[in-house]
């Protein structure tokens, strides 16, 4: 089955359950076909017609294709982030909050299996849309004999609307491993949910020469590798936070890089402060705390985590003391 048909069937099936945004894969392909026809010379053989590509700079495609795709990508990433955040917040919520959610009628998330299935559905949605975007951009470059499709992909990564770079995908990967490990530790025998394309089968936290790596083979052609070494302290991330550019740091290291006190937090960082790795500015205020990843690292690196917790606790207390001493002196004028 061709991917276009497979994608259309998947999106149709999902829209019967809930209204999901998606990539207009079929419509975008029609734009490219129309572009090719509009640029055909008047005298051309059948073979030449088949192999003809339109010009590298094409106002027909560039004025319709890229704006349309950009809007669809924004909708897809926005929906994925919002729903992944809701799912993970529910998983980490207190019993009282969960009861309130269930009483409001969100019955699909009532039990352990519901959480697992919801997580798999979200990752499947992210995966198939990521493949659709990659294929349509590859088609664009083939028709135009250009690299504008790849340049567009690089640009949207800078705009932070690349779905495989979402911090919530990293959280879902950690969420899956945490649920799997919790089930092993409890020794519970729970019926398996219906199979969903064998997602997460290759998802694992590994250590290469002591350096942690969260990896997941989402399909034969898509693999996500996330380096969990903080590039500031050069150690395994502790209390990890993902900046809006996608880079992950220890929370206190990120505060230091943003020139803020841990009491004030990253929300008070100046817009001019830059990511230590990519040097992009304005990346601190929208940072995401990776709670599921923190739980996973705590379980996997117990000795390191406990030692780091003691060190950071002492440092946080020292920073808090200095902060409040300064506030008192400012207030009293001493």
Q: Are 217 and 202 in contact (CB under 8 A)?
A: yes
Looking at residue 194, its pLDDT comes to 40
Count of Cβ atoms closer than 10 Å to residue 199 Cβ: 21
pLDDT digits (tens, 9 = 90+) for 314-325: 888 888 888 888
Looking at residue 164, its pLDDT comes to 85
Looking at residue 196, its pLDDT comes to 37
Q: Are 29 and 136 in contact (CB under 8 A)?
A: yes
DSSP count for the chain of H helices, then E strands: 11, 6
* Mean pLDDT, all residues of the chain: 79
SS3 of 138, please? helix
DSSP string, 247-284: -EEEHHHHHHHTT--TTT-GGG--TT-B-TTT--BS-S
Looking at residue 50, its pLDDT comes to 35
Residues ≥6 apart with Cβ < 8 Å to 323:
261, 263, 264
Looking at residue 220, its pLDDT comes to 58
Q: Is the model's pLDDT at 295 over the cut of 90? A: yes
Q: Is the model's pLDDT at 108 over the cut of 60? A: no
Q: What percent of the chain has pLDDT over 90?
A: 22
Q: Which two tokens stand for residue 120?
A: 């798999």
Residues ≥6 apart with Cβ < 8 Å to 275:
243, 245, 247, 257, 281, 283
Least reliable range by pLDDT among 15-29, 46-60, 124-138, 269-283: 46-60
The closest alpha carbon to 137, from 222, 54, 69, 60, belongs to 69
Give the phi and the psi of residue 226 in degrees, each rounded to 5. -120, 115
pLDDT digits (tens, 9 = 90+) for 48-101: 433 444 445 566 666 778 888 899 999 999 999 999 998 888 877 765 555 555
What is the average per-residue pLDDT within 32-49? 50
Separation between Cα atoms, residue 193 and residue 126, nearest integer Å: 20
What is the average per-residue pLDDT within 277-297? 91
pLDDT band at 113 (very low <50, low <70, confident <90, very high): confident
For the CA atoms of 122, 126, 131, 133, the dihedral, rounded to the nearest 10 degrees, stands at 140
Q: What percent of the chain has pLDDT over 70?
A: 76
Q: Is the model's pLDDT at 28 over the cut of 70? A: yes
DSSP at 274: B
The closest alpha carbon to 196, from 182, 210, 181, 176, belongs to 176
């Amino acid at each position: 089955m061709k991917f276009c048909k497979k994608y259309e069937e998947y999106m149709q099936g999902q829209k019967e359950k809930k209204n999901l945004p998606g990539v207009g894969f079929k419509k975008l392909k029609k734009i490219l076909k129309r572009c090719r026809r509009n640029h055909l010379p008047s005298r051309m053989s059948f073979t030449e017609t088949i192999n003809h590509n339109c010009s590298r700079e094409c106002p027909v495609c560039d004025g319709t294709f890229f704006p349309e795709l950009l809007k669809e990508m924004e909708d897809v990433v926005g929906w994925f982030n919002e729903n992944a955040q809701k799912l993970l917040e529910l998983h980490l919520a207190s019993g009282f909050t969960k009861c309130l959610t269930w009483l409001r009628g969100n019955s699909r998330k009532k039990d352990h299996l519901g959480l697992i299935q919801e997580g798999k559905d979200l990752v499947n949605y992210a995966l198939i849309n990521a493949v659709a975007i990659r294929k349509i951009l590859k088609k664009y470059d083939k028709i135009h004999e250009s690299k504008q499709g790849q340049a567009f992909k690089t640009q949207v990564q800078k705009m932070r609307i690349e779905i495989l770079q979402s911090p919530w995908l990293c959280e879902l990967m950690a969420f899956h491993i945490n649920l799997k490990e919790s089930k092993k530790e409890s020794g519970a025998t729970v019926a398996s949910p219906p199979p969903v394309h064998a997602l997460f089968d290759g998802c694992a936290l590994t250590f290469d020469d002591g350096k942690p790596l969260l990896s997941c083979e989402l399909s034969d052609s898509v693999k996500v590798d996330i380096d969990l070494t903080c590039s500031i302290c050069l150690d395994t991330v502790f209390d990890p936070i993902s900046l809006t550019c996608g880079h992950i740091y220890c929370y206190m290291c990120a505060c230091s890089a943003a020139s803020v006190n841990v009491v004030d937090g990253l929300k008070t960082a100046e817009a001019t402060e830059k990511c230590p790795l990519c040097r992009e500015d304005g990346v601190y205020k929208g940072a995401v705390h990776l709670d599921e990843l923190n739980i996973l690292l705590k379980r996997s690196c117990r000795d390191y985590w406990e030692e780091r917790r003691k060190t950071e606790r002492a440092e946080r207390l020292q920073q808090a003391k200095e902060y409040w001493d300064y506030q008192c002196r400012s207030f009293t004028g001493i």
